[in-house]
Chain A
Amino acid sequence: MTGPVERWFEACGWRAFAFQREVWEAYLAGESGLVHSATGTGKTLAAFLGPAAEALAQGERESPSLRVLWITPMRALAGDTAQSLAKAAEGLGLAWTVGLRTGDTPAAERARQAKRPPSVLVTTPESLALMLSQAEARERLGGVRAVIVDEWHELLGNKRGVQVELSLARLRRWNPALRTWGLSATLGNLDEALERLLAGGPGRVVRGVSDKPVVIDTLIPEDVERFPWAGHLGLAMLPEVVAALEASPSTLVFTNTRSQAEIWYQALLEARPDWAGVVALHHGSLDAEARAWVEAGLKEGRLKAVVATSSLDLGVDFSPVERVLQIGSPKGVARLLQRAGRSGHAPGRTSRVSCVPSHALEFVEAAAARRAAQAGRIESRRPVEKPLDLLTQHLVTIAAGDGFVEEDLKAEVRSTRAFRDLTDAEWRWALDFVTRGGESLKAYPEYRKVEEVDGWHVVRDADIARRHRMSVGTIVSDASVEVRYFNGKRLGHVEESFVAWLSPGDSFVFAGHAVELFRLENMVALVRPARARASTVPRWQGGRSPLSNEVAESVRELLEAHLEGRAAEPEMRAVERLLRLQRSWSRIPRRHELLVEQCETREGHHAFFYPFEGRHVHVGMSALLAWRLARARPASFSMAFNDYGFELLSREPFEPGPALREGLLSPENLLDDVLASLNAAELSKRQFREIARVAGLVFQGYPGQPRTARQVQATSGLLYEVFARWDAGNPLLAQAEREVLERELEFSRLAAAMRRLGNASVVLRRTRQPTPFAFPLMVARLREKLSSEKLADRVRRMQLEYDREADEAMASDAQAELFE
């Protein structure tokens, strides 16, 4: 059946890879599966041409409606994918139409699709769920034969992935012979990725082209001696980066945060003003048009370099890119490989990524990441288990669409891996939540969302259905302010909280422009070119991922190898002086050791711990240790943490030695102690933001909303307080706590680390000054204070933080909760 496909390949001058043939054959044999390989190795055609070959063999003359659903995680990728699928269909002489349906699709196009559905629809998880919430859902989607989930690894670890699982369960119910194929980058848990996608059904994992060579190296400055020990801007390497860009026709420069991208873009243009126009900036907050221009420039080879964030990690093929630079630590093996794969983006070519450390210890991280990559130790993505907030959303989605009978939908939901262990009580709660507004014992007559009519659950209120459709999805976006020049030119979006701290006349760098705030009105910041030099760069939330378990472990191994003289990497030679200093002032811990350094400065008494377990683990561990120490003897600590370790700082002298011998690191009562040590309620409250949005408790609003809609808006923080006080048993609160533990604190990793340290020999060193390992911790900005005082006492000690020079206006800040 694949004859026509092979002939088309030949006509194009290509040769099919063995893995592509394997996928085609498997598809035609009715199988499902998962294809994994680096990007740019022909996965798209592997997945698409199976369904295409089948249609050719059936000799269809007219374009059938909706046969293939193509799900992509990024709206930005959808257009490109639709184009290449259309091209393939046309090349094969197939009478298929290809449509596009994302949040950006105009209403007229959506209406056209409703009237005449395309044969292939490229869409996102959110748009698919939205289609399920419409009355004609089954009619439109019931004929789908194949679903292809692109970049499945991007969805697997979050609620979007669960949303896909639920939607697939629905499609399978309508068509039990549905074939599902996932496309993924290589992961540590491919089998689990497959199991999730196919809901445990039979399928195969196909490995794509595997011989794509990847070169990973590090830019090493000539003058390593003066390289900074700490600091996150990392512009120390600017000359080396400029030289690297000069040497290569097209380079992608990846940073870990959007602020870093802005800073580097600015610095590059200052170093080489002649590069204006050929060096560009790309990150998720920039205006879509500007981003599209940069992407097109990369594809056509017009740009010499682009400074980008993870916004360019995925998708679109940038063949001309020859080299990738990674500014700062890559943090994870998968991410480093993914980014490397953006260069030499064609079968058979070499990918090259060079790490650009921003401080000395990042040389060690770079070498460690390479070792882990070479050993094939790639991170896993842990799927989300039983998110009840999403379940409540799904119930309303289905009720607003076809409607459901309780037992049927319960079985369908349980057929997914995510909800396999859903208990009857949990199901009951979710159903009550959307039908009665709470437990069935308490009835609220004014509440009606999902209504039961003769055993059939439906949404009857048109307003409720409309509001629900506008909030389908699991992505939480911050309130953002559009940044626009007077002449109307849009630059992009910044978080409202950043703009809130600016006054008119303040200047900042955004989208590569130095601008000055003129006026803020209706969520638009009007700006003009700055007169003064701008030094502020917006800080966007998020984006600080911790060192992955794989890289962290590799760092520990590398230090051990260094001690044994087995680490000949150029990166290790570059930091030799620093490591020598560390050894002579203190020690470099062996793998089975936990190094603890004590020293005294004007700030107080410091204890530095170096588990090398990654930032999230250290956040939890430092709070835990401070709490356990304070329980033994009242004390107050400041904490700082980074990927290597953490610091406890106290004004009073304290001796961790005895406590360390007496179970300070014990894994016993770990969960209770961690919850008690952190302000768990405060953390859960923050996490509740996402849950409240997914469960439909907050409505993100829409333009021109009626007044009544504003009367039912409350912040998630306020909602959390109301639930915590009057419905403390609400499972959504427990979910918030669980999500904090798993996501913010990586509790399972913390527990494993505690077990490891429990068996480690503790090496205590008293040093005269902070060591090279301690220094980055000293400058870490974040300090959390552990305090067990009564609120009122604390308040008496605190200072009112108000601006006494502020003029008369009552300025309410942007995070103000809606009091209207």
Chain B
Amino acid sequence: MTECVVAGERLVLLAQRAAWWPARETLFVADFHLGKAASFRRAGIALPAGTTTENVERLERALEARAAAHLVFLGDFLHSAEGRAPATLERFARWRAARPGLAITLVRGNHDDRAGDPPAEWDIRCVNPGEALGPFALVHEPAPVRGGYALAGHVHPAVRLAERGGQSLRLPCFWFGPRVGVLPSFGAFTGSALVRPRAGDQVFVVADDEVIRV
């Protein structure tokens, strides 16, 4: 568990690749990509089962031991319309049913625009990017927002760490700039893209079960 201060608020960065905001009992998750493996299978690409279960279990681990009142998906909750396979949806629905008191907000991302909103019975409030929450503006694609600190996802950020001697490691990261903060992608079956932070940015990498400031 690693803490940082963003927009004057204390955030706890979790190795589950999510950010916990104690003041508002809110958990932020970006790029869940539910149904990604299923959409691959629909296209004739044989992928093993397990990614959805892993996602749901990791989400549960991030929430447990924290009296979370609110879960915010920062876009790309559903991967695609083709990925709405019955078994996948059913797995998430079971988890949702077990957490009836939790308020969930989805800030629609580019994938959600095509995949459509999640089933109504999941009781997820869907909003367009720009919704304000305290000092934060909730968005999907990272870009400065007037009047708020933008919390985003979309780029699946990662950085490369170099060791003297030439070896290097590529790790997903949290990346907080002066006006925009980007969370790592949460989904188990999602890639990452190297980003180039600027001097003064706060960058935290996720290395196995730890979050480390670099």
Interface residues of chain A, those whose CB is within 8 Å of chain B, are 433-434, 437-438, 442, 444-449, 461, 463-464, 467-468, 638, 696-697, 699, 707-709, 711-712, 714-715, 717-719, 722-723, 725-727, 730, 782-785, 787, 791-792, 794-806, 808-813, 815-820
Report the minimum CB–CB distance from A721 to chain B (whole Å): 8
| Any A CB within 8 A of the CB of B185 | yes
Report the minimum CB–CB distance from B4 to chain A (whole Å): 16
- Chain A residues with CB below 8 A from B145, complex form: none
Q: Which of A468, A714, A795, A799 has the most CB of B within 10 A?
A: A795
Report the minimum CB–CB distance from B161 to chain A (whole Å): 4
Known: A442-B49, A446-B85, A712-B43. A795 touches B169 (CB 8 A): yes
- Chain B residues with CB below 8 A from A820, complex form: 110-111
Known: A446-B38, A792-B208. A819 touches B190 (CB 8 A): yes
Interface pairs (14), CB distance under 8 Å: A438-B46, A447-B44, A449-B44, A696-B45, A718-B189, A785-B163, A791-B169, A794-B169, A800-B161, A800-B203, A801-B168, A802-B197, A811-B195, A812-B193
Binary contact readout B162-173 vs A (1 if CB under 8 angstroms, 0 otherwise): 111111110100
- Chain B residues with CB below 8 A from A708, complex form: 43, 80, 82
Closest to A730 in B: B48
Ranked nearest first, the 5 interchain pairs of A and B with the lowest CB-CB distance are: A817-B191, A727-B48, A726-B50, A816-B193, A449-B44
A638 in contact with B41 (CB, 8 Å): no
A715 in contact with B42 (CB, 8 Å): no
| Any A CB within 8 A of the CB of B210 | yes
A467 in contact with B85 (CB, 8 Å): no
Give A804 to B190 CA distance when docked, in angstroms: 27
- Chain B residues with CB below 8 A from A464, complex form: 43-44
- Chain B residues with CB below 8 A from A727, complex form: 48, 50
- Chain A residues with CB below 8 A from B38, complex form: 444, 446
Give A354 to B163 CA distance when docked, in angstroms: 43
B47 in contact with A722 (CB, 8 Å): yes
- Chain A residues with CB below 8 A from B185, complex form: 819
- Chain B residues with CB below 8 A from A813, complex form: 193-194
A437 in contact with B198 (CB, 8 Å): no
A697 in contact with B169 (CB, 8 Å): no
B79 in contact with A800 (CB, 8 Å): no
- Chain A residues with CB below 8 A from B192, complex form: 816-817, 819
Interface residues of chain B, those whose CB is within 8 Å of chain A, are 31, 37-51, 54, 79-80, 82, 85-87, 110-111, 114, 142, 154-156, 159-169, 171, 185, 188-199, 203, 205, 207-208, 210, 212, 214
Known: A712-B45, A795-B214. A722 touches B189 (CB 8 A): yes
- Chain A residues with CB below 8 A from B159, complex form: 800-802
- Chain B residues with CB below 8 A from A730, complex form: 48
**Contact with A802, one of B47, B49, B54, B196 (Cβ below 8 angstroms):** B196
Closest to A725 in B: B50
Give A717 to B160 CA distance when docked, in angstroms: 16
Give A53 to B155 CA distance when docked, in angstroms: 65
Closest to A698 in B: B45
A795 in contact with B155 (CB, 8 Å): no
Give A487 to B40 CA distance when docked, in angstroms: 41
- Chain B residues with CB below 8 A from A709, complex form: 43
Give A816 to B154 CA distance when docked, in angstroms: 13
Report the minimum CB–CB distance from B177 to chain A (whole Å): 9
Known: A800-B214, A803-B196, A816-B193. A726 touches B169 (CB 8 A): no
**Contact with B85, one of A445, A787, A795 (Cβ below 8 angstroms):** A445
Closest to B142 in A: A810
A714 in contact with B169 (CB, 8 Å): no
**Contact with B166, one of A444, A785, A810 (Cβ below 8 angstroms):** A785
Known: A447-B44, A718-B189, A819-B154. A804 touches B198 (CB 8 A): yes
B214 in contact with A707 (CB, 8 Å): no
A799 in contact with B31 (CB, 8 Å): no
Closest to A728 in B: B48
Known: A723-B48, A798-B161. 5 other contacts (CB 8 A): A437-B46, A446-B41, A725-B50, A784-B166, A809-B196
B169 in contact with A798 (CB, 8 Å): yes
Give A404 to B38 CA distance when docked, in angstroms: 27
Known: A722-B37, A730-B48, A801-B161. A817 touches B167 (CB 8 A): no
Give A815 to B43 CA distance when docked, in angstroms: 24
- Chain A residues with CB below 8 A from B51, complex form: 722, 726
Give A461 to B43 CA distance when docked, in angstroms: 10
Known: A784-B167, A792-B212, A796-B212. A812 touches B155 (CB 8 A): yes
Q: Which of B44, B82, B154, B196 has the most CB of A within 10 A?
A: B44
A714 in contact with B210 (CB, 8 Å): no
B194 in contact with A816 (CB, 8 Å): yes
Known: A711-B80, A816-B194. A467 touches B44 (CB 8 A): yes
A808 in contact with B39 (CB, 8 Å): no
- Chain B residues with CB below 8 A from A717, complex form: 191
Give A747 to B111 CA distance when docked, in angstroms: 46
Give A445 to B42 CA distance when docked, in angstroms: 9
Give A732 to B157 CA distance when docked, in angstroms: 29
Give A390 to B201 CA distance when docked, in angstroms: 47
Known: A795-B214, A819-B31. A444 touches B49 (CB 8 A): yes
- Chain A residues with CB below 8 A from B203, complex form: 800, 802
Give A723 to B208 CA distance when docked, in angstroms: 18
Known: A708-B80, A712-B39, A798-B163. A448 touches B44 (CB 8 A): yes
Closest to B194 in A: A813
Closest to B85 in A: A446
Report the minimum CB–CB distance from A550 to chain B (whole Å): 32
- Chain B residues with CB below 8 A from A801, complex form: 159-162, 168
Give A804 to B85 CA distance when docked, in angstroms: 44
A810 in contact with B155 (CB, 8 Å): yes
**Contact with A806, one of B39, B41, B198 (Cβ below 8 angstroms):** B198
A812 in contact with B46 (CB, 8 Å): no
B191 in contact with A718 (CB, 8 Å): yes
- Chain A residues with CB below 8 A from B111, complex form: 711, 820
- Chain B residues with CB below 8 A from A811, complex form: 195-196
A445 in contact with B86 (CB, 8 Å): yes
B82 in contact with A711 (CB, 8 Å): yes
Report the minimum CB–CB distance from B86 to chain A (whole Å): 7
B165 in contact with A638 (CB, 8 Å): yes
**Contact with B196, one of A438, A711, A723, A806 (Cβ below 8 angstroms):** A806
Report the minimum CB–CB distance from A268 to chain B (whole Å): 33
Q: Which of A434, A446, A468, A722 has the most CB of B within 10 A?
A: A446
A714 in contact with B189 (CB, 8 Å): yes
Closest to A712 in B: B43
Give A126 to B198 CA distance when docked, in angstroms: 47
Give A760 to B18 CA distance when docked, in angstroms: 57
Give A819 to B188 CA distance when docked, in angstroms: 12
A726 in contact with B48 (CB, 8 Å): yes
- Chain B residues with CB below 8 A from A806, complex form: 196, 198
A812 in contact with B47 (CB, 8 Å): no
B49 in contact with A795 (CB, 8 Å): no
Closest to A721 in B: B189
Give A104 to B168 CA distance when docked, in angstroms: 40
Give A783 to B166 CA distance when docked, in angstroms: 7
**Contact with B207, one of A434, A714, A782, A792 (Cβ below 8 angstroms):** A792
Give A794 to B197 CA distance when docked, in angstroms: 21
Report the minimum CB–CB distance from B16 to chain A (whole Å): 16
Give A169 to B128 CA distance when docked, in angstroms: 58
A794 in contact with B163 (CB, 8 Å): yes
Give A708 to B193 CA distance when docked, in angstroms: 21
Give A699 to B46 CA distance when docked, in angstroms: 13
Closest to B43 in A: A712
Q: Which of B41, B51, B164, B185 has the most CB of A within 10 A?
A: B41
